[in-house]
């Protein structure tokens, strides 16, 4: 992406994102910051480990989800909470989906009690179906709407 970004035309409605599954892939976030997309987003899925050191400056949207299907690898609730809290602190919309199992979390820490409900919003400005993510602070991140 970094090698071709300066040769591309970047329309004002183009979103560009990267997938980061674990801490070993955090370097992709720095690469994403170098492109002039209208909205830069992180797809933290399937989340396979904690993302200690994740920096959200320059990001307009964060999507977090687990792996699904037979033999899926587990995702820890604490990893998701850490990312959700970082998004709240940075004012970055947080979209959580696919917790991979009912009653996600340890006993006594249900998804509802931790605020980790799946959401249906499609846009950081809150214009998508289902409204703004229930677990985020919504702001306009360059949406063309």
Identify the pLDDT of residue 88.
92
Identify the pLDDT of residue 100.
62
The pTM (predicted TM-score) of the whole model is: 0.73
Contact 41, 59 (CB under 8 A): yes
Identify the pLDDT of residue 23.
96
Parallel/antiparallel/unpaired status of strands 61-65 and 94-97 = parallel
Single out the residue of 105, 34, 27 nearest to residue 66, CA to CA.
105
Identify the pLDDT of residue 116.
61
Give mean pLDDT, residues 14-35: 94
Confidence class of residue 130 from pLDDT cuts 50, 70 and 90?
very low
Question: Does 39 score more than 70 pLDDT?
Answer: yes
Q: Where are the domains of the chain?
A: 5-114
Identify the pLDDT of residue 115.
60
């Amino acid at each position: 992406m970094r090698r071709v970004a300066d040769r591309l035309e970047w329309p004002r409605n183009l979103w560009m994102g990267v997938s980061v599954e674990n801490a070993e892939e955090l370097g992709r976030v720095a690469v994403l910051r170098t492109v002039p997309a209208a909205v830069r987003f992180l797809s933290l899925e399937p989340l396979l480990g904690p993302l200690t050191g994740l920096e959200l400056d320059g990001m307009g949207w964060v999507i977090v989800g687990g792996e699904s299907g037979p033999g899926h690898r587990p995702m820890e609730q604490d990893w998701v909470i850490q990312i959700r809290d970082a998004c709240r602190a940075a004012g970055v919309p947080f979209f959580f989906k696919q917790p991979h199992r009912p009653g996600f979390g340890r006993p006594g820490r249900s998804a509802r009690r931790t605020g980790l409900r799946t959401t249906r919003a499609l846009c950081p400005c809150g214009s998508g179906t289902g409204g703004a993510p229930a677990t985020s602070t919504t702001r306009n991140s360059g949406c063309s709407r």
